[in-house]
């Protein structure tokens, strides 16, 4: 089991962190995922890839945690990034933080499909297997996630430009 955890820890934690937006919640859910995998390893169909099955369990655990969170007030996320003096790196960090905040505002299905595609680099077919939904639905969710993120980022940029223009007056 330890080799399994070592091999997939980063992917599972990354998915959980992107879906939940909080390091401690992601750590807890990642641990729950591996416990659940261990308990249900006998149910895994060895003729299929292991990773999509594992990530499906992680995604399900995240959705359960999000549903539970919806029933209680959510804590404000803290930025885990270390400040850097470079303007370019500050801008990149700011954009990454903004994308992370905007990802949390997406529907959970959109967010999970987006993260699995862009961060875990799974194919649409693998994502469909993980999420247990049709291929076309996955493509739609990834497209809608991108579209909503782009619109939100453009809106934020326009608001920032407007603020700078007001200050200049």
Quote the pLDDT of residue 168: 60
Measured at the CA of 105, the angle between CA 103 and CA 108, to 5 degrees, comes to 75
Q: If you ran DSSP here, which 8-state letter would residue 43 be given? A: G
In the block, residue with structure tokens 């007001």? 166
Measured at the CA of 25, the angle between CA 51 and CA 37, to 5 degrees, comes to 30
Q: What ranges do the domains of the chain cover?
A: 1-73, 84-169
In the block, residue with structure tokens 């934020």? 156
Q: pLDDT tens digits, residue range 1-34?
A: 567 788 889 999 999 998 888 888 899 999 999 9
**Residue 33: both structure tokens together:** 């995922």
**Averaged pLDDT score across all residues of the chain:** 81
Whether pLDDT at 134 is above 90: yes
Distances (CA, A) of 6 to 1, 12, 64, 120: 9, 11, 24, 16
Question: For residues 112 and 138, what is the distance between their CA atoms, to the nearest angstrom?
Answer: 10
In the block, residue with structure tokens 């930025």? 79
In angstroms, how far is the first alpha carbon of the chain from the final one? 63
Question: For residues 49 and 69, what is the distance between their CA atoms, to the nearest angstrom?
Answer: 31
pTM, full prediction: 0.53
CATH of domain 84-169: 1.10.10.10
Distances (CA, A) of 16 to 30, 47, 87, 123, 136: 7, 26, 30, 19, 24
Whether pLDDT at 140 is above 90: yes
117 versus 69: which is more confidently predicted?
A: 117
CATH of domain 1-73: 1.10.1740.10
Q: If you ran DSSP here, which 8-state letter would residue 77 be given? A: P
């Amino acid at each position: 089991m330890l080799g399994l955890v070592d091999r997939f820890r980063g992917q599972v934690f990354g998915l959980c962190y992107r879906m939940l937006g909080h390091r401690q919640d992601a750590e807890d859910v990642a641990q729950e995922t591996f416990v659940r995998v261990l308990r249900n390893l006998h149910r895994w169909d060895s003729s299929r890839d292991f990773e999509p099955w594992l990530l499906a369990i992680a995604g399900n655990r995240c959705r359960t945690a999000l549903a539970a969170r919806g029933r209680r007030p959510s804590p404000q996320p803290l930025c885990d990034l270390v400040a850097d003096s470079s303007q370019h790196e500050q801008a990149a960090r700011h954009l990454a933080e903004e994308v992370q905040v905007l990802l949390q505002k997406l529907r959970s299905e959109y967010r999970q499909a987006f993260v699995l595609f862009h961060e875990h680099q799974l194919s649409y077919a693998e994502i469909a297997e993980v999420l247990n939904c049709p291929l076309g639905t996955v493509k739609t969710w990834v497209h809608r996630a991108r579209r909503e993120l782009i619109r939100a980022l453009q809106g934020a940029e326009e608001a920032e430009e407007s603020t700078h223009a007001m200050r200049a007056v």
